Structure 1
Amino acid sequence: MGGNGVDYDAHMLIEWMEQRRPLFMILIIAYALFVVHVPRIWGRKRNRELASIIFYWNAFNALTDIVLFLGLLPEFLSSFHEGFYSSLCLTAGLYKNPRSGRAIFTFHISKIWELLDTVLVILDGRKTNILHVAHHIVVSISMIYSYQHIGAVARWIAITNLAAHSALYSYLAAQSCVWKRRTRSARVIDGIQIAQFPICLFGLIKIRQFLNAKKKCETSYNGPCIIIYSSFFILFIQFYINKYGKNSINREVFKSDSKGSELFISFKTFISIVNRTIGRIWGF
């Protein structure tokens, strides 16, 4: 805390994050190894006792994301005092205000513990997919290295992701104890997840415009941000089409979620789509 007891000690949190990055990277590597090797050993074993753990896990994440969303929302809304410019380019009290400072820090850290999502899916005997795993790895690495360096645009990334994940985890918790079967709400939930990407891409494009206009912008903007968001946006759109499109009408869309939602896309297809996306962005 600052000397007046109001400002949040953001510098201390930067040091804390830097000191623990090696540990977080070890956890991410362990996660990747687990995802690659454990399914072959574990197979399709089902554990009824795990159902309760999964429910509480989803409920915990839903509640946490809702609290973080509410903690960031006042700061996010007030950041528009100069329109999109102030919201995307001026950090103001985002990191120094105690409430928003704690919320944005916890948001970054939460991407590490969310790796447990995949672990529980595998231990529950369900299949995962390359998009699910790749998204978790890319997001977790970017979060532990971008804290505060990414600047003002973090408020957009956090508020959209927290809103989407609040809905997602609430749906998963309700599904595990009430609905039991996938409902048409799944389409809405998946649509909300996808909506994050065009919203943040819009923000990144606006940042580029402000930088070109030589305006002060407290945001670490770079090309890879657009590449990552564009790539995942296209991949998640394809996932949505494969899952709910007309060609999928004869699939068991409303089957029990115990078998998990599978992405019908191979690793080769994943790489080819990413390469095409990069080519379109950079013109080669």
Structure 2
Amino acid sequence: MDNLHFGHKMESGVTVPNYSYVFHFEQEFIHSEIKPLFDTYWRQVCIYSAGLYFLLIIVGQQYMAARPRFEIRNCLTAWNIFLALFSIMGAARTLPEFLHVLKTHGIYHSVCIPSFIESDKVSGFWTLMFVLSKVPELGDTVFIVLRKQPLIFLHWYHHMTVLLYAWYSYSEYTAAARWFIVMNYIVHSVMYSYYAFKALKFRVPRSISMVITALQLVQMVVGCLVNFWVIQMKQSSLECHVSDQNIKFSLLMYTSYFVLFGRFFYNAYLANQLALKSKSV
């Protein structure tokens, strides 16, 4: 492991956080070597992944319709533990760069300058891992189908659009993705840890599930705010490495998520309580 010292300036003039250590695989990460390969194949990966995903949902549900559910709790437990640890690691490795940029360079830099990919090897590596992880995360749906659990629109729509947007944004080195990645890592750290404890048959309070959905709603609100900040920067003629098309996609995505997660929150946690209150009046 190699050390990086606080205040060390990169070629771009941007400083990096004071990492106490840097793993060898992080130190060896060179974004300029990955980018050409990514640009060549990202569309094909998205198209094939989306096609296979929808095929899995349709064929899988038809296959399971007349069959008993699979009891695969051990696999489910291992899956959720792996994703929880991955998300915790991702959050721990990207949050320092995020906080450092906010403290030393401010909001403008955090939403408009993609130094988290171009100047910071640690954050750059885990940004790529975040993008790549959106393909295997589709495996969440496999467990739902095989265990014959309800597959709601929110679930598959969210998984599919996050995959498409993440890969598309990486192809452009979208600067505002710094916010989206850190938020997603943090929320997934809590969410997959919750799923892991549930799979291990721990009695987790229902309030934890409610808190996770609330965090997801906050994530969507912040996502919209970040896009509005980017719009303001661009309208002020400031250089901002976020395309107009990306802003439109991102706003549409985060707004739709807010509506869907808000509806889920109401139906899951509030509807029954409100119904009981109205009956008691």
Amino acid across the alignment from 2:255 = S
Task: After TM superposition, give the deviation of residue 34 of structure 1 in Å.
Answer: 1.1
2:180 paired with 1:157 = yes
Amino acid across the alignment from 2:170 = Y
Please give the alpha-carbon distance, in whole angstroms, between the structure 2 residues aligned to 1:76 and 1:14. Answer: 22
Please give the alpha-carbon distance, in whole angstroms, between the structure 2 residues aligned to 1:100 and 1:82. Answer: 16
Task: After TM superposition, give the deviation of residue 184 of structure 1 in Å.
Answer: 2.3
- SS of the aligned residue for 2:200 comes to helix
Please give the alpha-carbon distance, in whole angstroms, between the structure 2 residues aligned to 1:248 and 1:110. Answer: 37
* Structure 2 match to 1:67: 89
Q: Which runs of 5+ in 1 are unaligned?
A: 252-284
Please give the alpha-carbon distance, in whole angstroms, between the structure 2 residues aligned to 1:180 and 1:93. Answer: 39
Amino acid across the alignment from 1:192 = L
* Structure 1 match to 2:113: 90
* Structure 1 match to 2:55: 33
Please give the alpha-carbon distance, in whole angstroms, between the structure 2 residues aligned to 1:220 and 1:248. Answer: 44
Task: After TM superposition, give the deviation of residue 91 of structure 1 in Å.
Answer: 1.9
* Structure 1 pair 9–226 and aligned structure 2 pair: CA distance change class (3 A): same
2:74 paired with 1:52 = yes
* Structure 2 match to 1:281: none
Task: After TM superposition, give the deviation of residue 93 of structure 1 in Å.
Answer: 4.3
Contact 2:114 2:173 in 1 (8 A): no
Task: After TM superposition, give the deviation of residue 107 of structure 1 in Å.
Answer: 0.3
- SS of the aligned residue for 1:179 comes to coil
Task: After TM superposition, give the deviation of residue 114 of structure 1 in Å.
Answer: 0.3
User: What is the percentage of aligned positions where both structures have the same residue?
Assistant: 26
Structure 1 length-normalised TM: 0.80
Please give the alpha-carbon distance, in whole angstroms, between the structure 2 residues aligned to 1:248 and 1:31. Answer: 36
* Structure 1 match to 2:140: 117
Contact 1:7 1:96 in 2 (8 A): no
Task: After TM superposition, give the deviation of residue 73 of structure 1 in Å.
Answer: 1.0
* Structure 2 match to 1:224: 249
What CA RMSD, in Å, does the superposition of the two structures yield over aligned residues?
A: 2.4
Matches within 5 A, 1:1-284: 8-21=29-42, 22-43=44-65, 45-48=68-71, 50-80=72-102, 81-179=104-202, 183-221=206-244, 222-247=247-272
- SS of the aligned residue for 2:105 comes to strand
- SS of the aligned residue for 1:103 comes to helix
